[in-house]
C-alpha cells in the first residue's frame, strides 16, 4: 500500500488527480499540467515534496563518512552550503542522486529520492562500519514544500514571513517557527537535527530550473504553511506531472530514467558532480576508468522534426533502422513547443548533430542529437 | 461535466462513430477528452489505410501519456482530420465536432456491437 504525505487530505479536497509515485500516493495534477508548468515558469507554484527522504549524519566522522559515500566534495565547505551529487556502487552504477546540506561541522542533512529511501538507508548503514557517526533516518518526521518560480522569494517572505532574500543559490539556513507556525501538539525534534533547536530548514534549491526554495518542517508546520500559501492565491498548487516536465526541459535527471544501477553519472553526463581528485569514495576507481577510457553508452538530447512524442522506453534507431538506444524521458516540451527526449545511446552516436530516429508506435520519426538542456535555467545566483 | 451526444455509436474504449450513409466519422467522446486532459498530439493513420474493429489505429497524447485509439468499426480511411495536426487541442474544445478519421464502413453490422448514448452514459458512470 502506498504511503500518504501529511498533505494528502488537502490534495483530495483540491480535486487533485492522485497516483502512485515512489511508494507514495501523490498529486499528479490539480487542474492541468500545462497551466501548472506555466505558473512555475512565469509566477509561482508550490509542490508537496514530502515524499522525499531525509537522513541526518552527525558525529566525529560525519564529514569523512559523507566523503566516502558521496561523489561530490564537501571538504572544507562553509556551513550552509549544499552539494548535488550521487552515491555510487563500486562498479560506478548509481545508488541514488541526492542533495547534501552542510548544517554544521560534522553535521550533514541528506535529501534522497522517495522511491529509493529503503534502499539508500540500507546502503548507508552498510557503509558506516569504521566511522564514528550517528545516522538518523528522519523521513517520517519531515514534511517538505517546494515553492518555485520567479515570484517565489516574494511569496516566501511575504506570505510565510520566512526570511529567504539573503539566501544564496544552493545554500540553506536553519529557521525558528514563525508565530503562525507554533503548535501546542507534542512535536518532538528529530534526533540529531535542530542543532540550535531550529525546527525548520530552508534552502534556495529546487527541481524546476527556476528560482525557488525548499522548506523542511514537521507535518504540523507543513500543513499550516501549505494552507497559507494556497489561501494567499499567490502561488498555484502544482503536481508531480509538471514537476517532471519542468525538470526535464532544463535537463535535470530523474533517478529511474536518466540514472540507475546501470547508468553511472559519467554515462549520464554528470561528471562535473564526480570529484575524481578526492582521495577516496565508493565507485571512484570505476568512474575514473569510465572517464579515462570512455563509456559504451551516453545520455543525449534528441529533437524530433515532427510533433510525435517520444516516451520512456521507446527505441532509438540509426537512419538505417538499427536499434542503438532507448528513450529515458520525452515530452512535447511545453516551454519551446518541440518534441524532444533524453535517450541513452551507443557512444558513437552521441555527437551533437548526429541524425537519429525514434520509433513511436508503428512509425519512425527522424531527429537530431542536441544538447540535453532544452530550455535555459533561470536561477537567481 | 462531460457532454454526451445522442445519435452516435459508442465503444467501451470511448471512441464514437457518427454514421452518414456508407461513411462513419470516428472520434473520441467528450468524456475521454476530459479524462485525457490537454491533448498535445494526435497520431492518425493515412488515407486508404484499413482499420479493423477492436484494433488500434492511432493514438491521442496528453502531456503525460499516450492513449491508443481503438477502431469501433472496420473500414477504409477516406479522410483524416488534418486540422488536428496543427491544433490537437481542438479535441478538448469540442470532441464531437472534431472527428479524427472518416472511414468507408466495410461491415455496418458491426455497429450493433456498440452502445447508444444511454448505455454509454451508464458505462461511464461505472
Q: Which residues in chain B have their CB less than 8 angstroms from residue A34's CB?
A: 38, 63
C-alpha cell at A322: 538499427
pLDDT the model gives residue B126: 85
Q: How far apart are the CA of B28 and the nearest CA of chain A, in angstroms?
A: 19
Region A208-233 average pLDDT: 96
Out of 3.10.180.10, 3.30.70.2860, 3.30.70.1400, 3.40.50.300, which CATH number does the structure's domain A54-137 have? Answer: 3.30.70.1400
Domain count, chain B: 1
Domain that holds residue B44: 9-107
Residue B122 resides in a domain: no
- With the CA atoms of A88, A93, A97 and A101 taken in that order, what torsion angle do they form, in degrees rounded to the nearest 10? 10
Q: Average pLDDT over chain A, rounded to whole?
A: 94
> Helix, strand, or coil here: A341?
strand
CATH number of the domain bearing residue B75: 2.40.50.100
Q: Which of A248, A256, A205, A228 is nearest to A339 (CA)?
A: A248
- pLDDT at position A351 is 97
Supply the pLDDT for residue A1. Answer: 82
Dump pLDDT digits (tens) for A319-342.
999 999 999 999 998 888 899 999
pLDDT of residue A61: 98
C-alpha cell at A285: 576507481
pLDDT of residue A185: 58
- Whether pLDDT at A196 is above 90: no
Which positions in chain A touch B63 (Cβ < 8 Å)?
Answer: 32-34, 37, 241, 245, 331-332, 334
CB contact under 8 A, A33 and B43: no
Q: Has residue B123 been placed in a domain?
A: no
What is the pLDDT at residue A166?
96
Identify any residues that bridge with A299 across adjacent strands, giving them in sequence order.
Answer: A344
Q: Measured between alpha carbons, how far is A111 from A214 in angstroms, rounded to an integer?
A: 11
Domain A8-50+142-249 sits in CATH 2.40.10.340: no
Digit-coded pLDDT (tens) for B16-75:
999 999 999 999 999 999 988 889 999 999 999 999 999 999 999 998 889 999 999 999
CATH 2.40.30.110 is held by the domain A296-370: yes
Tens-place pLDDT, residues A170-187: 999 999 889 998 876 555
B43 touches chain A (CB under 8 A): yes
- The pTM of this model reads 0.92
Strand residue runs (E) in chain A = 17-21, 24-29, 45-48, 53-58, 82-88, 94-104, 107-112, 134-137, 143-148, 172-175, 200-203, 212-217, 236-238, 297-304, 315-317, 323-333, 338-346, 355-360, 363-370
**A86 at B interface, C-beta within 8 A:** no
Domain ranges in chain A are: 8-50+142-249, 54-137, 296-370
Task: Enter the ipTM.
Answer: 0.79
On whether any CB of chain A is under 8 Å from the CB of B66, the answer is: yes
Amino acid at each position: 500500500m502506498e504511503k500518504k504525505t501529511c498533505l494528502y487530505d488537502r490534495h483530495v479536497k483540491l480535486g487533485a488527480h492522485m497516483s502512485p509515485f515512489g511508494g507514495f500516493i501523490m498529486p499528479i495534477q490539480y487542474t492541468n499540467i500545462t497551466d501548472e508548468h506555466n505558473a512555475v515558469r512565469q509566477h509561482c507554484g508550490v509542490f508537496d515534496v514530502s515524499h522525499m527522504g531525509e537522513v541526518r549524519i552527525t558525529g566525529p566522522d560525519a564529514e569523512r563518512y559523507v566523503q566516502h559515500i558521496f561523489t561530490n566534495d564537501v571538504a572544507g565547505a562553509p556551513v550552509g552550503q549544499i552539494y548535488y551529487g550521487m552515491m555510487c556502487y563500486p562498479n560506478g552504477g548509481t545508488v541514488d542522486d541526492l542533495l547534501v546540506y552542510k548544517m554544521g561541522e560534522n553535521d550533514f542533512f541528506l535529501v534522497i529520492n522517495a522511491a529509493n529511501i529503503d534502499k539508500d538507508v540500507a546502503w548507508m548503514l552498510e557503509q558506516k562500519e569504521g566511522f564514528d557517526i550517528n545516522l538518523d533516518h528522519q523521513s517520517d518526521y519531515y514534511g517538505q514544500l517546494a515553492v518555485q518560480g520567479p515570484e517565489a522569494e516574494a511569496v516566501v517572505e511575504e506570505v510565510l514571513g520566512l526570511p529567504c532574500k539573503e539566501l544564496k543559490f544552493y545554500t540553506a539556513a536553519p529557521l525558528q517557527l514563525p508565530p503562525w507556525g507554533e503548535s501546542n501538539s507534542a512535536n518532538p525534534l528529530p534526533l540529531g537535527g535542530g542543532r540550535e533547536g531550529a525546527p525548520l530548514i530552508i534552502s534556495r534549491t529546487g527541481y524546476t530550473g527556476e528560482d525557488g526554495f525548499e522548506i523542511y518542517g514537521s507535518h504540523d508546520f507543513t500543513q499550516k504553511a501549505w494552507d497559507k500559501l494556497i489561501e494567499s492565491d499567490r502561488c498555484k498548487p502544482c503536481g508531480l506531472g509538471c514537476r517532471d516536465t519542468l525538470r526535464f526541459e532544463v535537463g535535470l535527471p530523474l533517478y529511474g530514467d536518466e540514472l540507475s544501477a546501470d547508468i553511472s553519472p559519467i554515462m549520464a553526463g554528470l561528471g562535473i558532480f564526480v570529484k575524481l581528485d578526492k582521495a577516496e569514495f565508493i565507485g571512484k576507481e570505476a568512474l575514473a576508468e569510465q572517464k579515462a577510457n570512455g563509456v559504451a553508452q551516453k545520455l543525449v538530447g534528441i529533437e524530433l522534426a515532427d510533433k510525435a512524442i517520444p516516451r520512456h522506453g521507446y527505441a532509438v534507431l540509426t537512419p538505417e533502422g538499427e536499434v542503438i538506444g532507448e528513450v529515458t524521458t520525452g515530452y512535447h516540451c511545453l516551454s519551446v513547443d518541440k518534441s524532444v527526449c533524453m535517450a541513452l545511446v551507443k557512444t558513437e552516436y552521441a555527437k551533437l548533430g548526429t541524425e537519429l530516429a525514434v520509433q513511436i508506435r508503428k512509425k519512425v520519426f527522424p531527429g537530431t542529437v542536441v544538447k540535453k538542456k532544452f530550455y535555459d535555467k533561470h536561477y537567481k545566483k | 461535466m462531460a457532454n454526451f451526444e445522442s445519435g452516435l455509436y459508442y465503444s467501451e474504449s470511448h471512441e464514437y462513430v457518427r454514421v452518414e450513409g456508407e461513411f462513419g466519422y470516428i472520434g473520441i467522446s467528450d468524456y475521454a477528452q476530459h479524462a485525457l486532459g490537454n491533448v498535445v498530439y494526435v497520431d492518425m493513420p493515412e488515407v486508404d489505410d484499413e482499420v479493423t474493429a477492436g484494433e488500434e489505429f492511432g493514438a491521442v497524447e496528453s502531456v503525460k501519456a499516450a492513449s491508443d485509439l481503438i477502431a469501433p468499426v472496420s473500414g477504409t480511411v477516406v479522410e483524416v482530420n488534418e486540422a488536428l495536426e496543427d491544433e490537437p487541442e481542438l479535441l478538448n474544445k469540442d470532441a464531437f465536432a472534431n472527428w479524427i478519421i472518416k472511414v468507408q464502413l466495410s461491415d455496418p453490422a458491426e455497429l450493433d456491437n456498440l452502445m447508444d448514448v444511454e448505455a454509454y452514459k451508464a458505462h461511464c458512470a461505472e
